[in-house]
Structures are given as C-alpha cells and as structure tokens.
Amino acid sequence: TTERSIELFSAIYVSVGVIVGSGIFVSPNGVFAAANYSVGVTLIIWVFGGLIAMLSTLCYCELATSIPESGSDYTYLTYAYHPALAFLIPWMNTLLPTADSILMLTFARYAVEPFFECTTPPVQSVKLIAICLLLFITAINVLSVKSAVRMQIAFAWCKLAAISFIVVSAVIFCMKDSSVASENFRNAFEGISFLTLSKAFYTVTWSYQGWNSLCHVTEEIKEPGKTIPKASLLTIAAVVVIYLAINTAYFSVLSVDEMASSKIVALPFALKAMGGASWIVPLTVCLCTAGSYNGGVLTYGRLSYVAARRGHLPQVFRMLHVHKRIPIPALILNNIGSIVLICIGDFEILIQIFGFVNWIFTGLSSLSVLILRKRLPKLTRPYKVPTVVPIIMSAVSFFFVILPLLNNP
C-alpha cells in the first residue's frame, strides 16, 4: 500500500494548488458577460460558486471518511452502484486527460509570449515547453511524495505573493484614481435575469473544480477522518477569498467596456495598474498552472493505480515502487495521454463533453451519500453531512447537466 505522509497543512496547500489554476485569469470575462455585465451580480456569482463547491465538499468529506480508500468518484460509485459504472471514470481520465493538457499548454503560452511581442509564438515551441514541464513535474512526483508536496507548498507561497501583489496594485491605483471603481460599483446590480445567472453559475463553477482532489489520495493522508474535512473546508474558504479579492481588483481598475472587450482580463489590468511590473501577471499564471498540474499529478494520478487494483486497468499499473511506495507505472500512463493531447492541441469539443460527464459523476457521488446510508447503515462515519446537502447537490448537478442542452438545444 501507499505511505501516509500528507498532514493537514500539506493537504491544504495541495488542494488550494489544484483549484487555483488559470481559471481566475481567464474565466472572469465569461462570468461577467454571462452576468449581463453586472458587477455586483458577478461578485455574488463567484460567492455562489464557492457555496456549490462547499456543499459538494461536504458530501465528499462523508464519503472519504467513511470509505477511507483513494480514488474519489471511482471508489464511491463502485460501492454505491455497480463497478461497471465506475469503470468509465479511470478510462476517461487516463486516455483523455484534457485538464492536464490545458494546464500545460496555458503555462507554455504565457511563458513564451513575452519573447514574441510582435508575433504569435510558434505552435511547436509552445507544445515542446508544455511537454518538458509535464515531464519535469512528473519526475518530481516520481522522486517522492514529500518532494511533490514541498514543490506544491513552494508554488502556493509564490502564488500567494503574486496574487497579493495584484491586489495591492489595485489598491494603489484606486488611491490615485477611484473614478473607475466608483462607476463600476455605483449601479452594481443592473440587468439581472435567471437565464444569465444560470449561464454564469455554470461558467464560474469550473474555476472551483478540484474540490474533491484530496479524496483521490485518502490512503496517503494522515488521520483522514480528521484531516480531509478540515483541509477541504479551509481550502474552499481560502479560494473564495482569493477569487473575490482578485475580481474586486479587476473591477477597481478596469471599466465595464474594458472588462467586456478583454478575453483575458488580467493582461489589460496589469498594463493599467502595474505599468513596468506587468510581467507579474504572466508569471502568476505560469505559477498557478504549474502548481495546479503538480497537485493534479499528486492526487488524480492515483486514479489509474486504484483502478488497476480493482482489475479495471492492466495489473502493471497497480505496481508501487518497492521503497518509495509510489505508483510510478500509473503516473507514466497518465503522461502518455496528456502528451498525445498536447500534440493534437485542439480539443475544445472534448472539454465540453467531459464537463458534461463530470457533472453526472458529481451528482451520482452526491446521491451515493444517501444510498450508502441506507445500504450500509452500520458503516462508521467519522463525519456526517446533513441530509439536505446531498439532496441539494444532486439537484444542482442534474441542473448543470441539462443546462447546456437548454442553452443549445
């Protein structure tokens, strides 16, 4: 079996690192547009996204503490429903790891673009850098779990410093010129409708994806019955604060028109508020994406190992290093799928499909809380979520499954 080496604060660093990726720099424009360019509604939607993540986290906390096995959705669906349903998850994530590929390509684009100010960076250079970073981070994870956690902690502190610099820059800008902030927040709640809100809710929840990351490494966490609930809830609270702070910084510097016309709002913000220090934003995006991928390797990388242990993948992928107790073959398998997708480069349709499927699995996992309570009433539950929470999350997940169909019938 794997070794329990992840403590409370390490778990928080890992979980925050997984969630805070490039989304906060790319998603604000989409959320703002979906909220009908209402500043106040946009901020409320970011809080709502945190609330959804919190409710889902509560469901996963009960599942992780009552079934202390790694694998997250895969493990819980195996217990609550049928192994055939859970069988889909490791194959989907192993053969088509779209999230990993997106993170690496995002890192590479931001790392290369400063050297090509007057032209578009060569596609092959971007892909090569993405693959090199992918292999480097995987090599650190192969070295030892402690090395991967230390790197995640380093990424977390660098992210915090860079994000703090962004927020401080906005404060300094407002001290010099508060006209933009005053205008943006004066009529903050104009143009609200249910349809725009529903689209915005769907968009913002993706920036919180990863709230169940610790459930993938339950067997490597010390005292999971205590650590997972504490770390997960503190993580979501911290991420909500970070997202609100950054969005408030954007609205304090950029006008509504500037926000609406910028696909990546962090770039015009940097030029306007930071001047010569605008290079901080691309650096921050690189740190966030690299840290998110490292956390993903550390957590989601165990899925292939758990699936092989149950016979859903070839047995070679259940092998652990004799001394390090790390599933090296499983990590290598995940790399192969990521490298293939990076080389392909265009997989937006796959992202939409798997976003749709992921909400199905989230809903099924939330519902499994109630199913397992009825099926296994004597199961020890160190943490028990109020019954209304899995009911709400099942309904929300179902809503997010049908929402794309309603918007694009």
Summarize pLDDT for 92-140 with one digit per residue, the tens.
777 667 777 888 888 888 888 777 777 778 888 889 999 999 999 999 9
- The answer to whether residue 82 sits within a structural domain is yes
Q: 10 Å Cβ neighbour count for 223? A: 12
* pLDDT tens-digit series, residues 136-180: 999 999 988 888 889 988 988 888 888 888 899 889 988 888 888
Lowest mean pLDDT, pick from 39-48, 63-72, 83-92, 97-106: 97-106
Predicted pLDDT at 189: 62
- The answer to whether residue 1 sits within a structural domain is no
| Chain mean pLDDT for the chain | 85
Using CB atoms within 10 A of its CB, is residue 116 exposed (0-12), middle (13-18) or buried (19+)?
exposed
Q: Is the pLDDT of residue 60 over 70?
A: yes
Question: How much is the average pLDDT of 322-337?
Answer: 87
Q: Is the pLDDT of residue 271 over 90?
A: no
Predicted pLDDT at 407: 61
- The answer to whether residue 407 sits within a structural domain is no
Question: How much is the average pLDDT of 279-306?
Answer: 86
CB distance 25 to 243 below 8 Å: no
- The answer to whether residue 3 sits within a structural domain is no
CATH code: domain of residue 336: 1.20.1740.10
Residue 136: what residue type?
F
- 3-state SS of the chain is CCCCCECHHHHHHHHHHHHCCCHHHHHHHHHHHHCCCCHHHHHHHHHHHHHHHHHHHHHHHHHHHHCCCCCCHHHHHHHHCCHHHHCHHHHHHHHCCHHHHHHHHHHHHHHHHHHCCCCCCCHHHHHHHHHHHHHHHHHHHHHCHHHHHHHHHHHHHHHHHHHHHHHHHHHHHHHHCCHHHHHHHHCCCCCCCHHHHHHHHHHHHHHHCCCCHHHHHHHHECCHHHHHHHHHHHHHHHHHHHHHHHHHHHHHHCCHHHHHHCCCCHHHHHHHHCHHHCCHHHHHHHHHHHHHHHHHHHHHHHHHHHHHHCCCCCHHHHCCCCCCCCCHHHHHHHHHHHHHHHHHCCCHHHHHHHHHHHHHHHHHHHHHHHHHHHHCCCCCCCCCCCCHHHHHHHHHHHHHHHHHHHHCC
Confidence of residue 367 (pLDDT cuts 50, 70, 90): very high
Predicted pLDDT at 352: 62
Question: Which range marks the domain in which residue 36 is found?
Answer: 8-402
Question: How much is the average pLDDT of 62-70?
Answer: 93
**Percent of the chain surpassing pLDDT 70:** 91
Predicted pLDDT at 312: 87
**Percent of the chain surpassing pLDDT 90:** 28
How many angstroms separate the CA atoms of 85 and 90, rounded? 11
Q: Is the pLDDT of residue 409 over 60?
A: no
- The answer to whether residue 229 sits within a structural domain is yes
- The answer to whether residue 409 sits within a structural domain is no
Domain count, the chain: 1
CA–CA–CA angle 90, 151, 317 (5° rounding): 25
Q: Is the pLDDT of residue 347 over 60?
A: no
Four-CA torsion 16, 19, 23, 27, nearest 10 degrees: -100
* pLDDT tens-digit series, residues 201-223: 777 887 888 888 899 899 999 99
- The answer to whether residue 390 sits within a structural domain is yes
Lowest mean pLDDT, pick from 88-92, 247-251, 394-398: 88-92
* pLDDT tens-digit series, residues 10-34: 999 999 988 988 777 777 887 888 7
Predicted pLDDT at 336: 86
Lowest mean pLDDT, pick from 60-74, 183-197, 261-275, 348-362: 183-197
- The answer to whether residue 408 sits within a structural domain is no
The half-sphere exposure of 284 on its side-chain side, counting CA atoms within 13 A, is 24
Question: How much is the average pLDDT of 190-201?
Answer: 64
Confidence of residue 79 (pLDDT cuts 50, 70, 90): very high
